[in-house]
Amino acid sequence: MVVRALAASLLALGLAFVAPGDPPAGAQARSYEQQIFFAVLEGLYQDGVSNEVVDKLIAIDEQTKYPTNFVWACPACMPAYNAFRVYRARPEFQGSKMYRDTFGPGLPPAQVERLTAVDLPVSQKALEELIETWMKRRMESLRLTESERAEWRIDMEERRKQGMNYLQGYRNGLGGSYASMKTCPICEGAND
C-alpha cells in the first residue's frame, strides 16, 4: 500500500512538470527547470546510481543546514537536487522476479570514489562532470535547433549568474561547505 501511494505521488509530481496544453505565463522558466530535473532523474535511472552515492551527494551540511553540494535557491541546483530526492524515494519495479528499482548497472568504481570523496572540491568536480553528461544526453534527445541551443545557453548563463550570486552571499555569511565552493557544480555542468 505504501509503495502504491509513493508511486502515485511520484507519477503526480512528474505529470505536474509536463502538463499538456499552451504554456502559461512563466512556463519557459519552468521548462528549463523541467529539463534539468528530467535530465538528472533520467541520468540517475539510466546509470543506476546507488543509494549510497545519492545519500552522499544530497547530504545536508551541519553548519548551514543546506545541501552540501547544491547551492540553496539556485535556479539550476534546486531542480537537480529535487530530482536526486525523487530518485532516492523510488519504489521497486513490479512484475519482475528479480529486485530492481533502476535500469543501469551503477557507476564505475573510480567515479563512485570521486563522487564520495571527503575532499569537497574532488566530489563536486565529479558531480559537475556527471551533470554535464546527463545534460548532454537530454539536450541531444531534444534535437534542438541552433537558435534553441543559443536560447538555452543564454538562459543557463543567467541561471549560473543567479546561482553564483547566492553562493557568494552564502560564502560571506554562512560558511560551512559553501565557504570552500568556488563554483556551483550543477550550474557548471548544465552550462558546458
pLDDT digits (tens, 9 = 90+) for 27-81: 444 588 899 999 999 999 999 999 999 999 999 999 889 999 999 999 999 999 9
Residues 131 and 38: their CA atoms lie apart, in Å, by 11
Residues 167 and 138: their CA atoms lie apart, in Å, by 26
Residue 76, domain member (yes or no): yes
Residue 9, domain member (yes or no): no
Residue 2, domain member (yes or no): no
Residues 44 and 10: their CA atoms lie apart, in Å, by 15
pTM listed for this prediction: 0.81
Total domain count for the chain?
Answer: 1
Distances (CA, A) of 133 to 40, 98, 165, 188: 9, 29, 25, 12
Structural domain harbouring 57: 27-191
Residues 118 and 124: their CA atoms lie apart, in Å, by 10
Residues 42 and 40: their CA atoms lie apart, in Å, by 5
Count Cα atoms within 13 angstroms, Cβ side, for 174: 21
Residue 150, domain member (yes or no): yes
Give 190 or 68, the one with higher predicted confidence. 68
Residue 108, domain member (yes or no): yes
Residue 181, domain member (yes or no): yes
Extended strands (E) in 26-168: none
Residue 156, domain member (yes or no): yes
pLDDT band at 191 (very low <50, low <70, confident <90, very high): confident
Residue 102, domain member (yes or no): yes
Contact 87, 49 (CB under 8 A): yes
Q: Which three cell numbers stand for residue 161?
A: 549568474
